Amino acid sequence: MKANQPGFIGGWRNIWLLSRYWLKGRLSRAALLWLLFGESFAIVFIAFGTQTVFAFANRFATNGPAGQFSTFALSLILAFVLVGLLQGGFSGSGLPVTSADVDYVFTSPVRPREIFGAKVLINSLTTVLFSFPPLLFLYITLARNYHTSLWTALPAGLATLLFLITALMLSADVTLSLSSNLGSTMKVIRNFLIVGVAIVGFVPVILLIPSVPRFLTPISQLLPSGLAAGLSVGLVTGTPWSLGLTLEAVALFAWFAASLLLGVRMSRNHFYEVLTIYGADNPVQSSGATKSLLRTSGMSVWSVVRSKESVIMRRSKERRGLLVSSLFLSAFMVIYSLAGIFQSSPTSFLFILFLVGSFGSGSASGWLEKERLWIIRTSAIDLRRYVREVYLARVTPLLMFLTPVTVAVGIPLIIGQLGQAGSYAVMLALPAALEVAAVMMGGGMYFAARYGQSTTDDILSSQAQQLTDVKRFLYQTIFNLLIVSPIMGLVLAGAEASTYIPVSPAALAAALFVAAGAYTYFVLRYLLNVSGDQIAKREDL
């Protein structure tokens, strides 16, 4: 009994008990496979991404030592993580729980603070397990680059790890702050604070544009992302320990303590109503009359199918998420363009293509979770066509968001480099971004159709589903990279080919553009047809 006396955040025994069982639940064979695969993937990604980091560093190298400016690159990446987690916090996923947690943990005589404490502990532990090896790899790579002791990678990694745990707690705090128990004044303050943090979080991104004044720099350094970047890069680049670094370390710990205290304070009452519950059917909470958006009278069956998909995306907030993510990608493209990265580094453009494509693929994967296959399969409807129409409904908003940005970014670049070989590469690269997004979205549809779990009455066990997810993610990534590699290859070839092939560069660019377009069309058609066939074959519903 003594061991369970309420302490700082409640009874430690309950926290330990919950953490132990959650950990046991998480460390399944599939989860360990995920961990290994995820870490390997992250290390490969880091090896690839560090090229981009150094490209940023070199971009600012004229104003001082390159190492100093890597802080920008890292704080930029960490700021994205921070803003992404805060955004997740707003959608209720800052403290993810399962239906079983709600049914058994929240109905047990366990204090909400203890649940919060256990969640924080388990999230922190998972973060350490998942993130530390790739972080260590990153800082060892940087230490080698700056010729400092490889041991500096250890404290540098720990500083970034502390940031990640703090950011996860902030995300949890945001989710807790959505609770209806919060007073109206607190809600207003909360909203201002969150918007403020989100804006400040983007400061490092804006700083990449050469004309933006440098006095904005200290603002970004006040956030945990800036502090962790300053500390980690400072350590790994061999900056002597100073008062500045001490203050940064203290401030980072202060963020950590404040976010923990805030969470403890807000988890006094039950909070499960604000959480995203995994495994549930995502019920829409709205009650009462809803304005009808799906018109069927006088419409063809296929326009009704497209319309149904759009309405579902809109009402399930998926379209809003799409808009936010597209703005994020658009901002990346604009900043890359303004910072001159496109012109100087074709590999950095491949990095963007990868981001755009992964996003499109991930977006498509979500389709099947909202689909009701038993209705489709018991109707006399052409499933290939059905999948094509769903794809159209999903890809259209993505292209509508990205196309104007691509045009806005591309035209000045092309005009600025008119006549040079590089301009043809840009002419190919910009539509290729859209083609890659479209093709990888088709790949996402195929993998969702083949491996995705539909809402069925014969739900796979969670472990079987995790294994399926691992396979799906693994195959999907490899498959998507393979199917878009011809488009990426054309982009890289665009700049070089005119040197070796004795034709007009403009004619060559036009030919490559048509080839990429034709390839996109035929690959998409094939992918969507086989997706329809996969739906027709599925028996797990």
The site for other proteins (CB under 8 A) is made up of: 281-294, 296-299, 301, 304-305, 308, 311-312, 315-316, 370, 372, 374-381, 455-457, 539, 541
On whether the CB atoms of residues 138 and 44 are closer than 8 A, the answer is no
User: Residue 282 Cβ, how far from other proteins at the closest point, in Å?
Assistant: 7
User: Residue 385 Cβ, how far from other proteins at the closest point, in Å?
Assistant: 11
Smaller CB separation from other proteins, 64 or 539 = 539
On whether the CB atoms of residues 197 and 219 are closer than 8 A, the answer is no
Contact partners, residue 379, CB within 8 Å, separation at least 6: none
How far apart are alpha carbons 482 and 476 in whole angstroms? 10
User: Residue 295 Cβ, how far from other proteins at the closest point, in Å?
Assistant: 8
On whether the CB atoms of residues 439 and 426 are closer than 8 A, the answer is no
Of the candidates 332, 347, 524, 507, the one whose C-alpha atom is nearest the C-alpha of residue 429 is 347
User: Residue 416 Cβ, how far from other proteins at the closest point, in Å?
Assistant: 45
Specify which residues 11 forms β-bridges with: 6
User: Residue 104 Cβ, how far from other proteins at the closest point, in Å?
Assistant: 20
Contact partners, residue 516, CB within 8 Å, separation at least 6: 428, 431, 432, 435, 486, 487, 490
How far apart are alpha carbons 88 and 22 in whole angstroms? 21
On whether the CB atoms of residues 414 and 423 are closer than 8 A, the answer is yes
Specify which residues 277 forms β-bridges with: 97
Contact partners, residue 449, CB within 8 Å, separation at least 6: 368, 387, 530, 531, 532, 534, 535, 538
Smaller CB separation from other proteins, 292 or 499 = 292
On whether the CB atoms of residues 453 and 478 are closer than 8 A, the answer is no
Smaller CB separation from other proteins, 304 or 334 = 304
Smaller CB separation from other proteins, 125 or 536 = 536
| Tokens read off for 536 | 């027709």
Smaller CB separation from other proteins, 247 or 293 = 293
Smaller CB separation from other proteins, 98 or 455 = 455
Beta-carbon count within 10 A of 324 CB: 12
On whether the CB atoms of residues 348 and 428 are closer than 8 A, the answer is no
User: Residue 269 Cβ, how far from other proteins at the closest point, in Å?
Assistant: 25
On whether the CB atoms of residues 234 and 177 are closer than 8 A, the answer is no
User: At 97, which helix (H) or strand (E)?
Assistant: strand 97-98
- C-alpha dist (Å) from residue 371 to 221, 321, 375, 456: 44, 18, 9, 10
Of the candidates 424, 436, 429, 430, the one whose C-alpha atom is nearest the C-alpha of residue 501 is 424
Place of tokens 């999230």: 123
Contact partners, residue 487, CB within 8 Å, separation at least 6: 432, 435, 436, 439, 516, 519, 520
User: At 357, which helix (H) or strand (E)?
Assistant: helix 346-365
Smaller CB separation from other proteins, 149 or 379 = 379
How far apart are alpha carbons 224 and 485 in whole angstroms? 37
User: Residue 367 Cβ, how far from other proteins at the closest point, in Å?
Assistant: 12
Smaller CB separation from other proteins, 333 or 383 = 383
Smaller CB separation from other proteins, 209 or 293 = 293
User: Residue 297 Cβ, how far from other proteins at the closest point, in Å?
Assistant: 5
User: Residue 450 Cβ, how far from other proteins at the closest point, in Å?
Assistant: 17
| Tokens read off for 502 | 């004795």
User: Residue 309 Cβ, how far from other proteins at the closest point, in Å?
Assistant: 10
User: Residue 384 Cβ, how far from other proteins at the closest point, in Å?
Assistant: 13
User: Residue 393 Cβ, how far from other proteins at the closest point, in Å?
Assistant: 13
User: Residue 539 Cβ, how far from other proteins at the closest point, in Å?
Assistant: 5
Of the candidates 484, 522, 518, 524, the one whose C-alpha atom is nearest the C-alpha of residue 388 is 524
Sign of CA dihedral 428, 429, 434, 437: positive
Smaller CB separation from other proteins, 496 or 540 = 540
